Each structure stands twice: as C-alpha cells, then as structure tokens.
Structure 1
Amino acid sequence: MIDFIRGTVVHWETEYIVLDVHDIGYRVFTPSPYFFQRSDEPVTVYTHHHVREDAIHLFGFATREEQRLFRKLLDVSGIGPRVALGILAGGRPETIVAAIQQENLGFLTKLPGIGKKTAQRMVLDLKDKLGSIGLPVETGLFAPIEEAAQDGTSAWSEAREALSALGYTPAELDRAWQGLKDTVTAGESVDSLMKRALQWLFKG
C-alpha cells in the first residue's frame, strides 16, 4: 500500500498530475489537479493504491480528509474509484459529509455519477461510519448543509484566479462565467468549476 508520495509536480492534465520522485514520474489521478501547481518545491500527495487484474492506479489527494472519505466511498456498493473521484471533485469533503449526515439526497444526486439509488446507498452505508471526517475541530458538530456549502460566486472567484495564473485573459474568463453561472450550485468545488470552465473554453 502506497500511503503518500512526495515529489515535484512536472505535469498536469484535467484528471491527473505527474510527480517526479527521484527521476521517476508517477501518474496520480486526483479530484483537484489544479490544486497542485507546477513548482520546483516538493509537495506531499496522500494516495490510495488501487490494484485490479488489468490495471494498477494511484489516486491522490491534497489532504488526509479527502483520502479517508475516498476510501469510505469505495465501501458503498456501486461506487468505484472513478465515481468516488468524481464525487470529491464535485464538492468539498465537509459538504459531502454533511449531505450524507442530513440525508440530503437532492445535493447528493447532483454529484457526478450519482443517481437516486446510489445516493440512498451512500446514506444507508455511511451515515454512521464517517467518524470525524469533515467535522469542525472546535465543535465536533456538522454545520447545516446550507452553511457548509460554498457560494458559487465565491468558488468562481478562486477558480478565476487559478485560471488566470494559467494564462487565460479576463475577457475569456468573463465569457466562461457567463456560460457557466446559471448551472453553478452551492457546494460545488473550485476544482469542479475549473474543469467545467476549461471544457467551456476549449469548446469556445
């Protein structure tokens, strides 16, 4: 089991990053590739080493919290690594956990790859098994989903700043926001917005 990798980010795509670890490049699939900016400074990526008959994959996360939630999601029937990765790309861990705790099927079914039956299984299988994942340290209590969810405009502000650092102009980003703003939901992650904005920009 590979629990974490420490190295420099030398390449990234919409679904993965490549880490240079002592002159070996590791492809790591992650819900937040744009969190790991290319840099000469080493970064730590918490990983899940997934082995099956026809493939060996590394899934990576910026925090232990994401790593733990990913592994819990894999315990739900019908959720494999790709779907679990999409769930984490679609919302922040504390928002996802709060939705499960509150049996908020409306929010869960908006996550990528999640239908009503899978959302119900998530609640049934995980509601009492998430421990402290997503809990505020100070209180040990879940915030209501409305409070835990990040406002779409706020998320876009962070996504816009990151996209600007990638070289996109203000005019291009304004057009992307006009095309996306009506579909942004509370709780959508910055990375999810970035992916959708990039898809929109590529089409444009």
Structure 2
Amino acid sequence: MIARLQGTILEKMPPEILLDVAGVGYEIQLPMTSFYQLPDINESVSLFTHLIVREDAHLLFGFTERLERSLFRILIKANGVGPKLACTILSGMTAEQFVAAVMHEDITALVKMPGVGKKTAERLVVELKDKLNNLESIPAMGTLPSTALSNTDSSASILSPKVSAKDEAISALIALGYKRNQAETTVNKIASEDASSEQLIRDALKSMV
C-alpha cells in the first residue's frame, strides 16, 4: 500500500494531478476539498494516499488530511459506494460536514451530492453512523506539514493556457459525477473573467450543494 507521497507537482487538471516523486510520475485524484489546498505547479507537496488495485488499472487517491483519507476508506466499504462517488461526496462536503450530516441523519444534505439518491443516503446513515464514531480518535487537524501546503486560486493552477478556466471547471465537475448540462449551466452562471478554474469549481460546488 502506498500510504504517503511527497514530490513536486508537474501538472494540475482538477480533480487530478501529476506528482513527480524522485523521477517517477504519479497520477493522483483528489477530492476538491484537498485540491484547493495544493500549492502551485513546480512546488512540493506531501499527501496521504490510498491505492486501489483493479484488473485494468491502479488508481491512486490523495488527501491533505488524514481524517479525509480515513473517511474515504470508510465510504468505499459502504454498499454501493465506489471511489469515484466517495471523491464526489468529499468534494462537495468537508469530512467534518459529512460526518455531521450522517450523525444527524441529514438526508437532505446528502442527496444533493450527484449519485446519492434518497435510498443511498438512508443506507449511508444506517451503515456509517456507528463506524464514524471511531473517527473521533483521529485528529481532525491531522494534516501533513503546512510548509508543503498553500491555499491558492492562482491561474498557475491551470494545466495549459489553451484550456480556459471555465472549460477546466466544467471538465472537473463532470469527472466528479455531475451531468454536462448541469456543470455547464452552473459554471456559466457564476463565471467571471478573472476567476481561476479552482475558484469556479469551488463556487459551483457551493451553489449546487
């Protein structure tokens, strides 16, 4: 199991990055709540990671907080929840917000996530309520060294100048499970000329949740 990686960010295409670790490039997918905390391209970062091995692919997921990775691991063990849906949930909510929604049986908040219908939300509450009590033993601030992280909405986060911030934001939302029409409508509604792709994604997720 690859539990942690530290390296230099070569590319950022939300919700994925290409991380150079001693000359080896790792493609890593992150929930947007972690993606927002990444430094700029060519800067160093440390991530908690979780590797999923399939017959056709090895999928690597990254997190800036230990708590978020722990919740991801609990989510993917729930009936009907795969890694993509788990990332989508953690992109629309922080780990703390999701735990609160489950513990308070807030079905309304959960069904706002794409791919989470009422039955799935009710099942998550039933299956996870007891398991989430164990998260109390994991420090909520279990982050990797702050020197490796910096909040940024810089346009340097865009992988290529040929890709507009709007197009990148729309692609990220689609990758997270939102329908193209919904992603395009939401991004076009909130878009401003100077907004970066990360800011557009953040605002779009807030408006849809």
Same fold (TM over 0.5): yes
Q: CA deviation at 1:37?
A: 2.2
Residues 190 and 200, structure 2, Cα contact 8 Å, conserved in 1: no
Q: CA deviation at 1:3?
A: 0.6
2:155 is matched with which residue?
166
Question: In the TM superposition, what whole-angstrom CA distance separates every residue of 1:54-85 from its partner, at most 9, and x where no partner exists?
Answer: 11110111110110000000111110000000
Q: 2: distance between equivalents of 1:90 and 1:2?
A: 25
Equivalent of residue 129 in structure 1, options 128, 131, 137: 131
Instruction: Please give the secondary structure, in 1, of the residue aligned with 2:131.
Output: coil
Q: 2: distance between equivalents of 1:78 and 1:89?
A: 18
Once the two structures are superposed, the pairs formed by residues 52-67 of structure 1 within 5 Å of their partners are: 52-67=54-69
Q: 2: distance between equivalents of 1:132 and 1:125?
A: 13
1:30 is matched with which residue?
30
Residues 94 and 133, structure 1, Cα contact 8 Å, conserved in 2: no
Q: 1: distance between equivalents of 2:26 and 2:188?
A: 37
Once the two structures are superposed, the pairs formed by residues 68-83 of structure 1 within 5 Å of their partners are: 68-83=70-85
Give the number of aligned pairs.
162
Q: CA deviation at 1:179?
A: 2.0
Amino acid at match of 1:195: I
Q: 2: distance between equivalents of 1:133 and 1:196?
A: 26
Instruction: Please give the secondary structure, in 1, of the residue aligned with 2:39.
Output: coil
Residues 8 and 20, structure 1, Cα contact 8 Å, conserved in 2: yes
Residues 179 and 95 (structure 1), Cα distance of their counterparts in 2 relative to 1, 3 Å cut? same
Indicate yes or no: 2:15 matched with 1:7: no
Q: 2: distance between equivalents of 1:193 and 1:119?
A: 28
Residues 126 and 53 (structure 1), Cα distance of their counterparts in 2 relative to 1, 3 Å cut? same
Q: Identity, % of aligned pairs?
A: 37
Question: In the TM superposition, what whole-angstrom CA distance separates every residue of 1:136-171 from its partner, at most 9, and x where no partner exists?
Answer: 979xxxxxxxxxxxxxxxxxxxxxx944x2179xxx
2:109 is matched with which residue?
107
Q: 1: distance between equivalents of 2:47 and 2:138?
A: 22
Q: CA deviation at 1:89?
A: 0.4
Residues 193 and 111 (structure 1), Cα distance of their counterparts in 2 relative to 1, 3 Å cut? farther
Amino acid at match of 2:2: I
TM-score by length of 1: 0.68
- Aligned Cα RMSD in Å? 3.3
Residues 192 and 42 (structure 1), Cα distance of their counterparts in 2 relative to 1, 3 Å cut? closer
Residues 136 and 62 (structure 1), Cα distance of their counterparts in 2 relative to 1, 3 Å cut? closer
Q: CA deviation at 1:40?
A: 4.5
Q: CA deviation at 1:15?
A: 1.7
Q: 2: distance between equivalents of 1:72 and 1:132?
A: 10
Runs (4 or more) in structure 1 with deviation over 6 Å come to 134-138
Amino acid at match of 1:27: E
Amino acid at match of 1:42: S
Q: Which stretches in structure 1 are left out of the alignment for 5+ residues?
A: 139-160, 182-190, 200-204
Q: Which stretches in structure 2 are left out of the alignment for 5+ residues?
A: 141-150, 159-164, 167-185, 192-196
2:201 is matched with which residue?
195
Residues 19 and 25, structure 1, Cα contact 8 Å, conserved in 2: yes
